[in-house]
């Protein structure tokens, strides 16, 4: 928990710079996850996974553009990373 709070304080101190880096990281990972989803086909299951990854990434990007609270943006970043990574691992097996 201490690492989370320290990271959150660091994010708040340089929010503009970190937001830019987070958008790049999250967009790249989301794109890679989408590519692996589509490599496996276009069934209903894959389309639901693609929808989930796309929506989570869009919510994160919108939270930055809307200038929501730092804590919410920080948490949404990690949620998008977790979802994209899980979907990527599932589809690369």
* Burial track 56-72 (b if 16+ CB lie within 10 A, e otherwise): bbeebbebbeeeeebee
Q: Rounded to a whole number, what is the largest CA-CA distance in the chain?
A: 44
Under the banding of pLDDT at 50, 70 and 90, the label for residue 33 is: very high
User: What mean pLDDT do residues 36-41 have?
Assistant: 92
Indicate whether this model's pTM tops 0.85: yes
pLDDT for residue 93: 83
Distance CA 21, CA 73 (A): 13
CB 40 within 8 A of CB 46: yes
Q: How many domains does the chain have?
A: 1
Tell me what the pLDDT averaged over the chain comes to: 94
Q: Domain span at residue 34?
A: 2-92
3-state secondary structure 48-65: HHHHHHHHHHHHHHHHHH
């Amino acid at each position: 928990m201490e690492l989370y709070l320290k990271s959150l304080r660091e994010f708040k101190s340089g929010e503009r710079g970190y937001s830019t880096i987070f958008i790049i990281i999250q967009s790249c990972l989301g794109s890679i996850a989408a590519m692996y989803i589509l490599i496996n086909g276009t069934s209903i299951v894959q389309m639901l996974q693609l929808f989930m990854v796309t929506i989570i990434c869009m919510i994160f990007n919108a939270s930055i553009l809307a200038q929501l609270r730092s804590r919410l943006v920080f948490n949404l970043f990690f949620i998008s990373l977790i979802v994209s990574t899980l979907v990527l691992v599932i589809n690369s097996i």
